[in-house]
Structure 1
Amino acid sequence: MPAFKLLMVFLFLCFVSNFLGFTTAADPNYLAHFCPNTTTFTRNSTFQSNLNLFLSSLPTNANRSNGFSRGFYNATAGQTSDSDRVYGLFLCRGDLGSTACQDCVTFATKNVTQRCPVEKRTTILFDECLLRYSNQSFFSNSDMSSQLSMWNLQNVTEPDKFNVFLGNLMNQVITQAVNNPKRFEIRKTNYSAFQTVYSLVQCTPDLSSRDCEVCLRGALGQLPRCCSGRQGGRVLYPSCNLRYESYPFYNESAIAVPPSPPPPASVTRLQGKSGLSSSTIIAIVAPIVVIAVLFIAGLCFLRRRAEKKYNAVLEQNADNDITTLESLQFDFKTIEVATNKFSSDNKLGRGGFGEVYKGVLPHGQEIAVKRLSRSSGQGAQEFKNEVVLVAKLQHRNLVRLLGFCLEGDEKILVYEFVPNKSLDYFLYETRPIGLVKTLQDNWIARGILYLHEDSQLRIIHRDLKASNILLDVQMNPKISDFGLARIFGVDQTQGNTSRIVGTYGYMSPEYAMHGQFSVKSDVYSFGVLALETITGKKNSSFYQTDGAEDLLSYAWKHWRDGTPLQLLDSNLTDSYSRDEVTRCTHVGLLCVQEDPADRPSMATIVLALNSHSVTLSVPRQPALFIGSRTERSFPEREFECSDKSTSKSMPWSVDEASITEVYPR
C-alpha cells in the first residue's frame, strides 16, 4: 500500500512538473544566432583566452543578481586597457527557476562556440535564455540591430478584432514591464469565453526604463508585419523580446504571488477498525490518480502539438536573418484605408520616384507610405531587391521598413513614420542648437558604420545628404532612402558603375568622374554633411564667401587661417566650445580629402567624435569641383536622372530606386 501510493504520487508529480516546465531534462530550444563575420579573432589569441574565461564563469553565476534581478548577469574578461577585452551577458526568461536558468546558460556557453567559432560579436537566442558577448562594451545600451520574428501557423477567426485587442494588451504589458525593475512582465487575458491570450515581454535589466520602452515599442511595431491575425507570434532583439500565444508557454506559478494559506482545519485521524480499509483507499485513490495522469498527459499532448505548429515556421526562419518577402507584404486595400485613399491631406512630400503619404494601420500604428510612380522605370525585381535590402537593416538610426505592396502596376513601400522633418529643413531654416550636438554624438556616423561594417550586408548608401536624414520625436536622426545603395560581397572593397547616381555636391570626385565607389564614397558625403551641419550652409547652393567658391574651400580657408570657430553660425557660438567645433571641422575636412585612402573609416570617425584621445592626421586641401583641376578634367557623362529629358545636364539631385548585386556578408 505505501509503495503503491508513493508510485502514484511520483508519476503524478513527474507529469505535472513536465507540463509546467519545472524541469529542464531536454536541451534548451534553440531559436537563432547572430554573429557577423566582419570582426573575427584568431585561434589561441588573447581574445579567445579572455572569451574562454568569460564563458567558463557564466554557469556558476547563473543564480547571482550582479546588482540586477536574478537570471541576468554581465561581466568582462581582460584588463581594462586590453584591446582584446570581452564584454558579455546572459539573460534568462523571467519565469524560469534557478536550475532551469543554469542549465540553459551552461548549454549556451558550449553551443555558441560551435555556431560562432571565431566571431567577436555574437548573440545566441534560446526559448529559455540568451547569451551575448562582444569586443566592445554594449552594457546599458539598447540594441535593435538584429531581429528575429516568428509566428504560429494557426490563424484567428476575426483578425481585425484580434489585432486591436492584441495591440491594447501588449501596450499595457509593456507599460508594466518598463516600470518593473526586472524589466519583465507576463499577463493572461481572456479574449473570449473560449480563448485566452498569454503574453510576455522582457528587456535586459541593465536598460533604463526609456531604452527598454523604445526597444519594446520597436518590437511591437514589428508584430503587424509578421504576425497579423496569428494565434501566436514573437519578436526578438538582442536587448528585448515580446511574445504572445493562445496557450501557456511560461511558468505562471514561478512568479505568481502565492495565495494566503487557509486556516488550519481540524484533522480526524482514522485508526483501527473505525478507519477505512486499505482496499477501500486503493479503490478510491487509484481511479483518481489514473484520471489525473491521463488528463495531464492529454494536456501535454495538446501543448506539444501547438508548439510543433509554431516550430514548423520557426525552423523555416531561424536559418534566415530576415523574414520572407511574403511576411512583409501588405494588400493594396489595407494601404488605401490607411492613407484615406492616398488623400492629399495625408501627403508628406514627393521623392524622385513617387509621393510619400502618412497612414494609420487598423491597430493605430502610424506609417509612411512611398508610392512609386508608374514612370519610375523600376521593374518588379528591382523593387523586390530594395525590399530585401532594407528589410535586412535594423538599427536605431535607420528608418525601418515595415513592408511593401506589389499589386498590378502599384509598387509601394511601407516605412515607420518619423514625425519630424528632414535635417535640411532644420539646417537651413530653423537652425536649432541641438544639431551640432547631433553631429558630436555621432548618431549619423553610427548608422553609416552599421551599413558599412555591422549589418549582414556591406552597404554603400551613395546618396547621403541632409534631406535623407529624418528626425524623430527626440530629434534623433534616422538615415532614409537606400534606393542608391550598392551591396558589396565580403571580399569586395570597391566597385565600378557606368550609372552615376547621387546628388551633386555630396558625390566624391572618384565616383563623379570615374564611377568608382567604395565605403570612402559615403565618408566623403558624411564630411560634406558634417561641414553643412557646422556652418548651416548648403554646399550645392553655396555662394562665394570670403573668396571661397564652395563650402569645402570656405571651411579649408578658415582651418588654414586658424579660425575654425568662425565657421559656426553666429547665433550658436555661445553654445559650443572651441574644441568641439574644431574637432568636428577637423573630422569633416579629413572626410573630404581628394584621395580616398586619406579619408578615415567610419569606425575611426565614431571614435574621433566620441573621444579626444584619438589622434587625427593633418588635413590637406579638400577635393574641389569648382575652380580646380578637377573641374578641368571632368568628363562629359550622362547622369541618371528622374527627369529623363534633362539627363545630359548636371542634376542637383539624382534619385534612383534600384538595387543591384545582392551579396550576403
Structure 2
Amino acid sequence: MGFSLLYIIIISMTLFSSDLIKKAKSSSSPEYTNLIYKGCARQQFSDPSGLYSQSLSVMYGSLVTQSTKTRFYKITTGTTSQTSITGLFQCRGDLSNNDCYNCVSRLPVLSGKLCGKTIAARVQLSGCYLLYEISGFAQISGMEMLYKTCAKNNVAGTGFEERRDTAFGVMQNGVVSGHGFYATTYESVYVLGQCEGDIGDSDCNVCVKNALEKAQVECGNSISGQIYLHKCFIAYKYYPNGVGPRGPSGSSSSRSSDSSSSSGATGKTVAIIVGGTAGVGFLVICLLFVKNLMRKKYDDY
C-alpha cells in the first residue's frame, strides 16, 4: 500500500509540473506576433490544375527561409506569367533574425486561415507582415490607408500636440536617414516608422509624411495610435510618467521590454516548478522513512 500511495503522489506531482511548463509556454507568446489586421481580396483564384497552389506554396517556403537572413524579401513564383504570384515579407527593423523568423513563420498558416486562397492577401502582425498577389491584380496607391487604430483615451492638458508633432518630425527625419526604419522616444512620446523595403528614401519620406498627417487628423489627442499605409506605417504612444519602451540609440523598445517581461515570467515559472520538485523530494523522503520504521517494527515483532 505504501508503494501505491507513493506512486500516485509522484505521478500527480509530475503531471502538475508538466502542466505548469505547458502553461508557461502557451502564455509566453511574444508581443510581436499579435495580429493587427488582415486584408483579403474578395475573389478566390480558380485552380483546377493546382498551379496556383504550387506557386503559393513555393512562395511561402521561400519567404520563411529568407526570414532567417534578412528583414525584407520579395519573390515572384510560377511556371507561367499567368500563374505567377508575387509575395513579400517585412519584419520590424528592431527584430533580431531569430525573432523575424518566429514572426514570419506564422504568417503562411494565418494567411490560409484568415483569407483562404484569395487572389491577394495581406496579414499584418505587430512585428512583421506578409503580402502576396497573383499576376494582373489591380495595383493600389502606396499612400492608400489600409488600417488605423487610435486609443480611446485622450491626453489631458496643454502641450501634448506640440510635443507629439516634434517627435513626429524627429522620427520622419530618422526614417529617411535610417533608410526605412527608425524608432525613438522624444519627450515621453515613443514613435516608430517603417517603409517597405523596396522603396527609395524620397518615396519613403513622402509616405511617412502622409502617415503622420493622417495620425494628426485621425487620432487627434489620443494617447497612442497606429497608421498603416500601403507602403509604410507609423506608430506612437505617449507616456505621461516618462517611462517608455527601449528603442534604438538608447531610447526604449517594445522588444527589450517584452523580453524582460518574458524572462521574468519564465523565472517565476522555474521557481514554482523547482519549489514543487523540492516538495516532492521532501515528501518522498518522509514516506520512505515512515515505511522503513514500519518494516523494522514489523520485523521486530
- Alpha-carbon displacement from aligned partner over 1:545-568 (angstroms, at most 9, x marks no partner): xxxxxxxxxxxxxxxxxxxxxxxx
TM-score (norm 2): 0.66
Instruction: Give the SS at the match of 2:167.
Output: helix
Note if contact 2:167-2:189 (Cα within 8 Å) is conserved in structure 1.
no
Note if contact 1:24-1:103 (Cα within 8 Å) is conserved in structure 2.
no
Structure 2 vs 1, CA of residues 26 and 43 (structure 1 numbering), >3 Å: closer, same or farther? farther
Aligned ranges 1:71-86 → 2 under 5 Å: 71-79=71-79, 81-86=80-85
**Structure-2 separation of matches of 1:200 and 1:249:** 12
Instruction: Tell me which residue corresponds to 1:476.
Output: none
Structure 2 vs 1, CA of residues 41 and 93 (structure 1 numbering), >3 Å: closer, same or farther? farther
| Match 2:170 to one of 169, 172, 189 | 172
TM-score (norm 1): 0.31
Instruction: Determine whether 1:186 maps to 2:191.
Output: no
RMSD: 3.0
Aligned ranges 1:63-78 → 2 under 5 Å: 63-64=68-69, 70-78=70-78
**Structure-2 separation of matches of 1:249 and 1:83:** 49
Instruction: Determine whether 1:98 maps to 2:94.
Output: no
**Structure-2 separation of matches of 1:201 and 1:27:** 15
- Post-superposition offset of 1:156: 0.8
- Post-superposition offset of 1:223: 0.9
Aligned ranges 1:302-451 → 2 under 5 Å: none
Instruction: Tell me which residue corresponds to 1:35.
Output: 40
**Structure-1 separation of matches of 2:148 and 2:77:** 32
**Structure-1 separation of matches of 2:191 and 2:121:** 27
Instruction: Tell me which residue corresponds to 1:209.
Output: 201
- Alpha-carbon displacement from aligned partner over 1:388-443 (angstroms, at most 9, x marks no partner): xxxxxxxxxxxxxxxxxxxxxxxxxxxxxxxxxxxxxxxxxxxxxxxxxxxxxxxx
Unaligned runs of 5+ in 1: 1-17, 65-69, 191-195, 259-291, 298-665
Note if contact 1:41-1:119 (Cα within 8 Å) is conserved in structure 2.
no
**Structure-1 separation of matches of 2:66 and 2:35:** 21
**Structure-1 separation of matches of 2:31 and 2:222:** 28
Instruction: Tell me which residue corresponds to 1:388.
Output: none
Instruction: Give the SS at the match of 2:83.
Output: coil
Structure 2 vs 1, CA of residues 100 and 220 (structure 1 numbering), >3 Å: closer, same or farther? same
Instruction: Determine whether 1:154 maps to 2:146.
Output: no
Amino acid at match of 2:78: G
- Alpha-carbon displacement from aligned partner over 1:131-162 (angstroms, at most 9, x marks no partner): 00112489xx9623342111222221126x31
What is the number of equivalent residue pairs in this alignment?
224
Structure with the bigger percentage of helix: 2
- Post-superposition offset of 1:100: 1.3
Instruction: Tell me which residue corresponds to 2:58.
Output: 53
Amino acid at match of 1:204: E
| Match 2:215 to one of 214, 223, 227 | 223
Instruction: Tell me which residue corresponds to 1:235.
Output: 227
Amino acid at match of 1:184: F
Percent pairwise identity: 23
Instruction: Give the SS at the match of 1:157.
Output: coil
Instruction: Give the SS at the match of 1:185.
Output: strand
Amino acid at match of 1:206: D
- Alpha-carbon displacement from aligned partner over 1:324-352 (angstroms, at most 9, x marks no partner): xxxxxxxxxxxxxxxxxxxxxxxxxxxxx
Note if contact 2:81-2:135 (Cα within 8 Å) is conserved in structure 1.
no
Note if contact 1:27-1:107 (Cα within 8 Å) is conserved in structure 2.
no
Amino acid at match of 1:240: C
Structure 2 vs 1, CA of residues 44 and 106 (structure 1 numbering), >3 Å: closer, same or farther? farther
- Post-superposition offset of 1:228: 0.8
Structure (1 or 2) with the larger CA radius of gyration: 1
Amino acid at match of 1:87: T
Larger RCO of the pair (alpha carbons < 8 Å, separation 6+): 2
Structure 2 vs 1, CA of residues 96 and 116 (structure 1 numbering), >3 Å: closer, same or farther? same
Structure 2 vs 1, CA of residues 169 and 112 (structure 1 numbering), >3 Å: closer, same or farther? same
**Structure-1 separation of matches of 2:162 and 2:249:** 27
Instruction: Determine whether 1:246 maps to 2:238.
Output: yes
Structure 2 vs 1, CA of residues 40 and 164 (structure 1 numbering), >3 Å: closer, same or farther? farther
- Post-superposition offset of 1:99: 1.6
Instruction: Give the SS at the match of 1:51.
Output: helix
- Alpha-carbon displacement from aligned partner over 1:237-267 (angstroms, at most 9, x marks no partner): 2321000113577652xx4479xxxxxxxxx
Note if contact 2:146-2:229 (Cα within 8 Å) is conserved in structure 1.
yes
Structure 2 vs 1, CA of residues 90 and 179 (structure 1 numbering), >3 Å: closer, same or farther? same
Note if contact 2:163-2:189 (Cα within 8 Å) is conserved in structure 1.
no
Instruction: Give the SS at the match of 1:236.
Output: strand
Note if contact 2:184-2:249 (Cα within 8 Å) is conserved in structure 1.
no
Instruction: Tell me which residue corresponds to 2:21.
Output: none
Structure 2 vs 1, CA of residues 224 and 43 (structure 1 numbering), >3 Å: closer, same or farther? farther
**Structure-1 separation of matches of 2:111 and 2:37:** 10
**Structure-2 separation of matches of 1:90 and 1:250:** 25
Runs of 4+ in 1 over 2 A off after TM superposition: 23-27, 38-45, 141-146, 246-252, 255-258
Structure 2 vs 1, CA of residues 204 and 197 (structure 1 numbering), >3 Å: closer, same or farther? same
Structure 2 vs 1, CA of residues 155 and 164 (structure 1 numbering), >3 Å: closer, same or farther? same
Amino acid at match of 1:51: L
Instruction: Give the SS at the match of 2:106.
Output: helix
Note if contact 1:223-1:233 (Cα within 8 Å) is conserved in structure 2.
yes
**Structure-2 separation of matches of 1:157 and 1:257:** 28
**Structure-1 separation of matches of 2:165 and 2:31:** 34
**Structure-2 separation of matches of 1:94 and 1:229:** 27
- Alpha-carbon displacement from aligned partner over 1:363-387 (angstroms, at most 9, x marks no partner): xxxxxxxxxxxxxxxxxxxxxxxxx
Instruction: Tell me which residue corresponds to 2:269.
Output: none
Unaligned runs of 5+ in 2: 1-23, 252-259, 266-301
Instruction: Give the SS at the match of 1:176.
Output: helix
